[in-house]
A and B are shown apart, each in its own frame.
Chain A
Amino acid sequence: MNCVALPRMSSKTHSSNNIAHARRTVQQLKIEASIERIKVSKASADLMNYCSEHARNDPLLMGIPTSDNPFKDKKPCTIL
């Protein structure tokens, strides 16, 4: 992290900056405090449901058969 040297300010400017910052902090906390929250049981159930509903379409989870894998080099067959 870099420390940026601030230009020297009068103590009055400094304290009014602090107050402005503190006001913004309170304002922001009010926004964050006011949101609606759902129960963890519901949030967890929804995550679990999403995973199970999409599991069979998740190639990295299910594994990919060679014939369907565009990244796998298919070895040519030699006819002896």
Chain B
Amino acid sequence: MGEMEQLRKEADSLKDQITAARKAVQDTTLQEAAAGVTVVGRVQMKTRKTLRGHLAKIYAMHWGTDSTLCVSASQDGKLIVWDSITTNKVNAIPLKSSWVMTCAYAPSGNLVACGGLDNMCSIYNLKGKDGNVKVMRELAAHTGYLSCCRFLSDSEIITSSGDCTCVLWDIETGTQKTVFAGHQGDCMSLAVSPDFKFFISGACDFTAKLWDIREGQCRQTFGGHESDINAIGFFPNGNAVITGSDDATCKLYDLRADQELITYQDSSIMCGVTSLAPSLSGRLLLAGYDDFNVNIWDALKAERVGVLAGHDNRVSCIGVSSDGMACCTGSWDSFLKIWN
């Protein structure tokens, strides 16, 4: 037997082992375990603020950790930092490339980042001496578009790319610390664990991967989706991962049981999920869809308990503030809305 054939057999055998090991711990389902839990009552939220100012589709938004400021990115070529309570624009940052697909707010509040079809992640210092917001660093090495970025601190950021890799960067030196390779399709989204030790990525190979940041290794791979994964997030306790896909479903995977526990789907929903965010307790899952709506799911019962309807085009991004007080949606209709 040639080595190639041997390796193929070994790979198949290992895949069977993983399937069997997952089945061996499947003594129940989340559906069964939560049978005695009452579905959450109908959730109704209102638009409290509309953030107006972008002139084109909004592709991304991210809350600052103070739960008041947030940053948004639009293909009008601007990053805007908003005070979500007053609706004032704190900063309006013109970008070199208008083809932006992602943005992020550093936990410190000092930096924001963005990137897109320029294949780069640009870091901006909001707290520069002369008050002007300037590009601090341009992180260039990806050979595909930048789909998502998230700061670990003011000195480190993780990016995901259409080149199928994710990268941990040293912002100070502008160099790649670690390349996380393994996905077989464009990486579309990433999320960092609450303890900052792991991150998860969702890709166009229909899988989500859990990565150990310091070891530089993929620990687990989750399949089951039937199309591209566009959105990914951690359940608040860091023990589960939620994905949103073009297959019109969201799924919850438990990290310690190493398997999918539940799927959030409805026969009436036939369009892709673009974005998602859990509420503070994890009980509610808010997911943005191509059909201009946000569906609110009871995360334990997988039942739809509310809808946020108010945008006139696709909801491209969503985020729940750190104190859980508000949900922000961004849309191709050029507006951001604050709901609670």
Q: Which A residues form the contact surface with B (CB < 8 A)?
A: 1-2, 4, 15, 18-19, 22-23, 25-26, 28-33, 35-48, 50-51, 53-55, 57-61, 64, 69-73
CB-CB under 8 A from B293, the residues of chain A are none
Contact assessment for B325 and A51 in the assembled complex, using a CB-CB cutoff below 8 Å? no
User: Distance (Å) between the CB of B328 and the closest chain A CB?
Assistant: 10
Q: Which B residues form the contact surface with A (CB < 8 A)?
A: 3-4, 7-8, 10-11, 14-15, 17-18, 21-22, 24-30, 33-34, 37, 40, 43, 45, 48-49, 68, 84-85, 143-144, 162, 182, 185-186, 204, 217-221, 235-237, 239-240, 254, 256-259, 261, 279-284, 299-300, 320, 323-327, 338, 340
For this complex, 25 residue pairs linking A to B, each with C-beta atoms less than 8 Å apart, are A1-B204, A19-B7, A26-B10, A33-B14, A36-B256, A37-B22, A37-B258, A39-B257, A40-B30, A40-B254, A41-B33, A50-B236, A54-B236, A55-B281, A58-B280, A58-B281, A58-B283, A59-B325, A60-B325, A60-B327, A61-B283, A64-B325, A69-B340, A70-B68, A73-B48
Contact assessment for A60 and B33 in the assembled complex, using a CB-CB cutoff below 8 Å? no
Which one of A2, A25, A30, A43 has the highest number of Cβ atoms from chain B below 10 Å of its Cβ?
Answer: A43
Complex alpha-carbon distance, A14 and B291, angstroms: 44
- Mostly helix, strand, loop or mixed at chain B's interface? loop
Contact assessment for A43 and B256 in the assembled complex, using a CB-CB cutoff below 8 Å? yes
User: Distance (Å) between the CB of B88 and the closest chain A CB?
Assistant: 14
Known contacts A51-B282, A54-B236, A71-B325; A40/B218 CB under 8 A: no
Contact assessment for A43 and B261 in the assembled complex, using a CB-CB cutoff below 8 Å? yes
CB-CB under 8 A from A42, the residues of chain B are 256-257
Contact assessment for A44 and B33 in the assembled complex, using a CB-CB cutoff below 8 Å? yes
Known contacts A22-B11, A47-B254; A28/B239 CB under 8 A: no
Complex alpha-carbon distance, A58 and B21, angstroms: 35
Which among B14, B26, B144 is the interface contact of A26 at CB below 8 angstroms? B14
User: Distance (Å) between the CB of A40 and the closest chain B CB?
Assistant: 5
